[in-house]
Amino acid sequence: METSPLIVQAAWLGTTILAAGMFLAFVRLVLGPSLPDRVLAFDALAIMGVGALVLVAIATGHALFLDVALALALITFIGTVALAISLERGISK
């Protein structure tokens, strides 16, 4: 375990930068002209959430957050595939 206040500060700074990127993706989720745009923005938001969980694991020193990140990555993939299939087959009106 390589503890250093520099790494913790870098992790919090990275969380801030990541929050800015998540805000931009969220704006696309709200504005998105078509449904695939929104699904894509949601997918990217979830992947950024995985990254944010990894940064929080580094910043707090709790490795438990990495399990949460792995579970979130698993669930996100299933959600994206399900939404893509329902987009392709057509949504019943």
Partner 1 sequence: MMSWVIVALILLGTFLMFLAGLGIYRMPDVFTRMHASTKAASLGVGLLLLAASLYFWNMGITTKALTTIAFVFITAPVGAHMLGRAAYLRGACMWEKSVMDEAEGKLKLPKSAGEESSGSEK
- The least distance separating partner 1 from the CB of residue 19, rounded to whole angstroms, comes to 9
Please, is 55 exposed, middle or buried when counting C-beta atoms within 10 Å of its C-beta (0-12, 13-18, 19+)?
buried
Binding site for partner 1 (CB under 8 A): 1-2, 4, 6-7, 10-11, 13-15, 17-18, 20-25, 27-28, 34-37, 39-41, 43-44, 47-48, 50-51, 54-55, 57-58, 63, 66-67, 69-70, 73-74, 77, 80-81, 83-85, 87-90, 92-93
Which residue from 22, 85, 82, 24 is spatially nearest to 51, judged by alpha carbons? 22
